Amino acid sequence: MANKMTHLNNDNTNSTAYDDILISIVSYVYEPIEFSELAWTRAKAALLDALGVAMEGIHSSAELNQLLGPVPPHSPIVEGGFKLPGTHYQLDLLKGAFDLGTSIRYLDHNDAFPGAEWGHPSDNIGAILPVTDILCRRPHTTTSSHPSPTMKDVLTALIKAYEIQGTLQIENAFNKIGLDHVILVKVASTAVVCWLLGLSRDQALAAVSHAWVDGHPLRVYRQAPNTGPRKGWAAGDAVQRAVHLALLAAVGQPGVKSALTAPKWGFYDVLFHSKQLSTPKPFGSWVVENVLFKVNTAEGHGLTAIEAALKLSKNMQRQGIVPELVERVRVRTHEAAMIIINKSGPLHNAADRDHDLRYMVAVVLLKGAQIDTKDYQDESAWATDPRVEELRRKITVVEEPQFTQDYHNIHIRSLTNAIQITLSDGTWLDEEVVEFPDGHVKSPNTLALVREKAVQNLGLKFNNDRVKEIIELVDSSTFDEVLVSDFIDLFTP
């Protein structure tokens, strides 16, 4: 959107009164940047992956489908509204953002980015696509200086939203003060939505300031004993709020210039233990270039654990060792896994199971194969199999300090898990250690696996010809020029 950006860069605003981090975020979003070829390639992969997992969720989760569609139900379609991929719904902007953000996130199968905070940058696509699709479908909202958005605009906003969220995750641990990471989805989405809507920089600063002022979700719904399905729609809630804040700024709502730094009343003093946000590197395209794709179905910190468990299971099968002979299982892991997926006691729902390291490992060992989406669901045989609970009780999870150091080392960024099994006769199997899972930037087959996953997921909703058409369009040299609405139309069943 070169025309739009040139127009906005000439705004005469009083931006310097805003907190520095707000200015940095908005300046990054509004200034043209030459991204690397790798960034564009991985941005396309991220877009396909996110839409694929949305189709997977809509296809396989009745619980998700209860959340989707117009309010009230059976309302007429919204003329010029957002066409929710995988459905026949055409929705208003806010409900469209909620529904797409929720669909991408619901099965915990979208990409992820580790740091002091853990989050899922593709959550932001839930804001980007509805806004750009509706701008295309309502011609009166565009002008010669603000043309209908193309897929290049989508990819540009995606790269920048990833970068804002991921950079703020590297050293800022919102989880340690009890806040949920979707605060960063809201901030990043608000910034890029303002740019997509053609708002001035000062309007964008106002909106982003309100994204920090908002009351922020507590992490309580991700942690035992309260883990529940809200973690599946938390991203939808965040992107819906981001769009709303941008719309409020568009009609002139002023910002809160010291939203972070105001003594006593600002974000830092009220919610951040009087510390300041850390940005250890300048904004660029590093996050999308290094984002972790979940080519297997597991909470990100457990990906290497299930790969290690699968190797051990294959080894046991070769030796004729049945899972019933397992006496103890020791898992060495990193601090983030200890906080997020280290559980004991009963598991109450799919959201509980897919965030339990012991459940993942136990199912893989008993199944003798990769765990997948349906294995976490209430109707899965594994959810009620007493052997799973028996094996979970035999699993010990401990932190390995070196794994934690390597996880936080910006030059390593490993997700190491190590598993050792002791048998009932006192013998043990050699420990399996996996540092980098499939889908990690250091795995050479990552992009091929992401493509394979996307094709499989898109095939749950569309025939082979349609899937081929989508893939070929994304791969084409003219994809950047495609109107967003034309792309979205391909996702109508």
Which sequence spans correspond to the domains of the chain? 2-290, 300-434
The alpha-helical segments, DSSP class H, found in 138-255 are 151-169, 182-196, 201-213, 230-250
Helix-helix angle 230-250:93-105, to 10 degrees: 150
What was the pLDDT predicted at 8?
33
Q: Are 217 and 252 in contact (CB under 8 A)?
A: no
| pTM, rounded to two decimals | 0.90
CA distance 45 to 294: 12
Name the DSSP letter for residue 324.
G
> Would you tell me which CATH number, out of the four given (3.30.1330.120, 3.40.1160.10, 3.30.540.10, 3.30.56.10), belongs to the domain 300-434?
3.30.1330.120
Q: Any idea which architecture 2-290 has in CATH?
A: Orthogonal Bundle (1.10)
CA distances (Å), origin 197, targets 248, 341, 382: 12, 39, 47
Contacts (Cβ under 8 Å, ≥6 apart) of 407: 114, 334, 335, 336, 413, 414, 415, 416
**Cα angle vertex 237, ends 360, 180, to 5°?**
55
Q: Rounded CA gap, 82 and 68, in Å?
A: 13
Strands 395-399 and 326-333: parallel
Helix, strand, coil content of the chain in percent (nearest 5)? 55, 5, 40
User: 446, 448, 422: which is closest to 436 by C-alpha?
Assistant: 446
pLDDT at residue 142, as a whole number: 55
Please give the pLDDT value at position 270.
96
Q: How far apart are CA 2 and CA 145, in angstroms?
A: 9
Residue by residue, pLDDT tens for the chain (493 residues) are 333 333 333 343 455 599 999 999 999 999 999 999 999 999 999 999 999 999 999 999 999 999 999 999 888 899 999 999 999 999 999 999 999 999 999 999 999 999 999 999 999 999 999 999 999 998 665 555 678 999 999 999 999 999 999 999 999 999 999 999 999 999 999 999 999 999 999 999 999 999 999 989 999 999 888 988 999 999 999 999 999 999 999 999 999 999 999 999 999 999 999 999 999 999 999 999 999 999 988 899 999 999 999 999 999 999 999 999 999 999 999 999 999 999 989 999 998 999 999 999 999 999 999 999 899 999 999 999 999 999 999 999 999 999 999 999 989 999 999 999 999 999 999 999 999 999 999 999 999 999 999 999 999 999 999 999 999 999 999 999 999 999 999 999 9
